[in-house]
Amino acid sequence: MRDSLGDVESVLVLGGRSEIALAAVRALVARRTRTVILAVRDPATVTHELAELRVAGVDASAITFDATAFATHDGVLRDVWATHGDIDVVIVAFATMGDEDESARDERAARDVIDTTFTGAVTAMNATADLMERQGHGSIVVLSSVAAMRPRQKILTYAAAKAGLDAYARGLGDRLHGTGVDVTVVRPGFVHTRMTAGKPPAPFATDAPTVGKAIVEGIRRRSPVVFVPDVLRAAMPVLQLLPRPVWRRLRE
Amino acid sequence: MTVSPPEHREYAEAPELLQGWGGTSPSRSIVWHPHDADEVAQRLHAPHDGTSTESEDDVDADPMPRGVVARGLGRSYGDAAQNAGGHVLAATALDRVLELDADAGTVRCEAGASLEMLLHLLVPLGWFPTVVPGTRQVTIGGAIASDVHGKFRHGSFCDYVEQAVLVTPAHGPITISATEHADAFWATAGGMGLTGTVTEATLRLHPIETSAMVVDTVRCADVDECMAAMVEGDGPYRYSVAWIDCLAKGRALGRSILERGNHARVDDLPARHRGKPLAYPSPFQPVVPFTPPSGLLNPLTIKALNELWFRKSPAHPHHGVRSIPSFFHPLDNIVGWNRVYGTRGFVQYQPVVPYGQEAVIRRMLEQLAVHGLASFVSVLKRFEGANAGHLSFPAPGWTLALDIPVGDPELAPLLDRFDEWVLEAGGRVYLAKDARVSPEHFAAMYPRLDEWRAVRNRLDPNGLLNSDLARRLHMLEK
């Protein structure tokens, strides 16, 4: 059960290999979190992370979760609730960035990015929202991106899918108003992770632990939208207002 | 007229987002408004055959799948009177006064009756509830569930409860008192509504001659002087309380205003009031009209308010006659005062530490001042004794109550550290105020927890009674 200062006991990560989500989990465990469930395509890929959490005294487990097996989401989440009882926080952290040139050419590549990043997140959020509404409280954290606010051409498909996800998550937050469940949309700028390795960093680049801390603070304050770093809250609207010819010339 | 069988009874209930008085931890419960005590007994005692499974598909079959807890006027600061996803029994409709026995000095009333209402009835008749907390806006049921205390240091609310009717899931309504079902009585005193639902209670009253208080007010330069003055001089006073300025640092650490009083006798009143010594008018009560953004109360404004509070008290020892509301419930005079803390709300931290552990109180005041974590009108009181309540808060020693706005990320770890000091000192925090203690610290602070659980489990073997507080502190486990 969450307490009045925003400390939580249990967290489920959908996309449990996400470095950003794991950084948030570490920050939560440093406070009161004692139950962590990592939902991943293959539980064997997070044995190291589970061991690390168990050393910290956490009841940590992994479950199988396929982001694009939409029909299974409801059942997988119900099983989590049936096994662990109430879950205070669910972090929706899975996404596929893909290769933009491939997405532009190959229908399957484009669909993979969209299905994972947008469609799968929507079905998972809806299943989560239903269970949390029944328990009368909870926080859903959705990892979006500043790219959702004005898609860059280098990652157009991914950014557009994130834009859809971002819009859906904010609307879900409105739908859940008054139910005791809140939705926090997290919009990091460029984050140095596996997913972005080798890509040229954008201005205001940050790292996973910083985003993790910002997520914990967002949960604590029930913030509807969190920017990391915070300066992007002011900078992004300016970028959005840039005339299109200028924006086009900005592409790296 | 036909009466529908109980299993088809329609209950007046609707979902509602509930919070404690601190305005934190919102959760949604289904709020059920029972019409009378029979309806409470019928629904809580409805036989559960134990064959229903917990699967989601059966949720509709089980009328209260996430349990139920009673709620009075919502004055507990944290999450005691809410039950996320489950039921909350709104007790305020059960507010009848049933019997006033002027010979015995007792009043029997339903559990949803408020102290406000009782004061209006009893004071003009020359009676006063023996223990009155810092607000009149509490129900009798809530006062029992938290075993509330006040400026009276010789016992807490349940010490003056002659008997009560407790509706338990296992046995339906039972009469409990210090002599009858004593273990159930003491598990219920401070049991946070988790042993059953009290539907009525009989209170022992204190006779008064007038509706006024004679109050002596002194300023103390620091917390040590204040504590010494309380220990030495509390004797002749029935009630005593110190208001501490937490933001004063250094030599002025814990500068305070000590207020001590007794019920006035007719002779104490100015001549013009002696004709109607028990008159108890309703004071004018301004209302906080909206919730301002958090941050209105910040270290700077709180410092200014504390200064004002300190300066408005007389610089030299002062003896005067005051009304019951102005002495007992100064904050009640502003309706919705909790809203000034803004949308993020506030927490109240109230520990008790035994005599001899005064240093812990001083250390907490120092740390608050160092961190600039402001608390407006912090209150210091003393207890002479404890009762037999398993989870009852009062214990011989000092109790400090701090109101702190939520927002500073330093607050949670700082209060955890306070918990450790309190625990080391052999003290505990007050559940009616709590919204953030850890389950481990809670269990260590209340060593009779397992004893309480054993009694509770007998009264409610299927765990029907539940609340956010119970979930957060793992109170029902084992």
Picking from B28, B59, B347, the nearest residue to A4 by CB comes out as B347
B369 in contact with A, Cβ within 8 Å? no
For position A79, what pLDDT does the model report? 98
At residue B62 the predicted structure's pLDDT band, cuts being 50, 70 and 90, is: low
C-alpha span between A146 and B142 (Å, rounded): 49
Specify which residues B99 forms β-bridges with.
B108
C-alpha span between B17 and A178 (Å, rounded): 6
Chain B contact set for A135 (CB, 8 A) = 66, 84-85
Smallest CA–CA distance from B410 into chain A, residue: A5
B25 in contact with A, Cβ within 8 Å? yes
| Higher-confidence position of A143 and B314 | A143
B441 in contact with A, Cβ within 8 Å? no
Q: Could you check whether the bond before residue B283 is cis, i.e. omega within 30 degrees of 0? A: no
Chain A contact set for B17 (CB, 8 A) = 178-180
What is the DSSP code (8-state) at residue B268?
G
Coarse DSSP helix, strand, coil percentages of chain A, rounded to the nearest 5 percent: 50, 15, 30
C-alpha span between B327 and B215 (Å, rounded): 8
User: Average pLDDT of A92-116?
Assistant: 96
Smallest CA–CA distance from A78 into chain B, residue: B56
At residue B330 the predicted structure's pLDDT band, cuts being 50, 70 and 90, is: confident
pLDDT of B135-159, one tens digit each?
Answer: 999 999 999 999 999 999 899 999 9
Q: Is the pLDDT reported for residue B4 higher than 80?
A: no
* A197 CB burial (10 A radius; 0-12, 13-18, 19+): exposed
Residue with tokens 């000092």: B398
3-state secondary structure of A35: strand
Q: Is the pLDDT reported for residue B402 higher than 70?
A: yes
> Which of B209, B305, B326, B206 has the alpha carbon at shortest distance from B259?
B326
User: Average pLDDT of B268-286?
Assistant: 87
Least confident interval from A98-112, B50-64, B374-388: B50-64
A74 in contact with B, Cβ within 8 Å? no
Q: Is the pLDDT reported for residue B182 higher than 60?
A: yes
At residue B51 the predicted structure's pLDDT band, cuts being 50, 70 and 90, is: very low
With a pLDDT cut of 70, the percent of chain A lying above it is 99
**Do B27 and A31 lie within an 8 Å CB cutoff?**
no
Smallest CA–CA distance from B77 into chain A, residue: A4
Whole-number Cα distances in Å, B4 to A103, B7, B10, B172: 65, 8, 9, 20
Q: Is the pLDDT reported for residue B57 higher than 70?
A: no
B347 in contact with A, Cβ within 8 Å? yes
| Beta carbon pairs, A and B, within 8 Å | 74
Q: Is the pLDDT reported for residue A122 higher than 80?
A: yes
Q: Which of residues 391-420 of B touch A (CB under 8 A)?
A: 406, 409, 411-412, 415
For position B7, what pLDDT does the model report? 53
At residue B414 the predicted structure's pLDDT band, cuts being 50, 70 and 90, is: very high
**Do A137 and B468 lie within an 8 Å CB cutoff?**
yes
ipTM passes above 0.90: yes
- Backbone φ and ψ of A178, nearest 5°: 90, 0
Picking from B27, B406, B438, the nearest residue to A136 by CB comes out as B27
For position B293, what pLDDT does the model report? 81
**Do A4 and B438 lie within an 8 Å CB cutoff?**
no
For position B55, what pLDDT does the model report? 44
Chain A contact set for B436 (CB, 8 A) = 3-5, 7
Q: Is the pLDDT reported for residue A71 higher than 50?
A: yes
For position A224, what pLDDT does the model report? 97
Q: Is the pLDDT reported for residue B9 higher than 70?
A: no
pLDDT of B217-240, one tens digit each?
Answer: 999 998 999 999 999 999 999 999
Q: Is the pLDDT reported for residue B53 higher than 80?
A: no
pLDDT of A23-58, one tens digit each?
Answer: 999 999 999 999 999 999 999 999 999 999 999 999
* A248 CB burial (10 A radius; 0-12, 13-18, 19+): exposed
Q: Which pTM was predicted?
A: 0.93
A2 in contact with B, Cβ within 8 Å? yes
Whole-number Cα distances in Å, B172 to A170, B44, B45, B80, B192: 47, 7, 5, 22, 18
For position B58, what pLDDT does the model report? 44
Across A214-233, b (16+ Cβ under 10 Å) vs e yields bbbbbbbbbbebbbbeeebe
C-alpha span between A190 and A204 (Å, rounded): 7
Catalytic residues of A: 158
What is the DSSP code (8-state) at residue B241?
E
B229 in contact with A, Cβ within 8 Å? no
- The first and second tokens of residue B320, run together, are 């005067």
- Backbone φ and ψ of A60, nearest 5°: -110, 135
Please, which residues have CB within 8 angstroms of residue B321's CB and are 6 or more apart in sequence? B212, B213, B214, B215, B264, B268, B269, B270
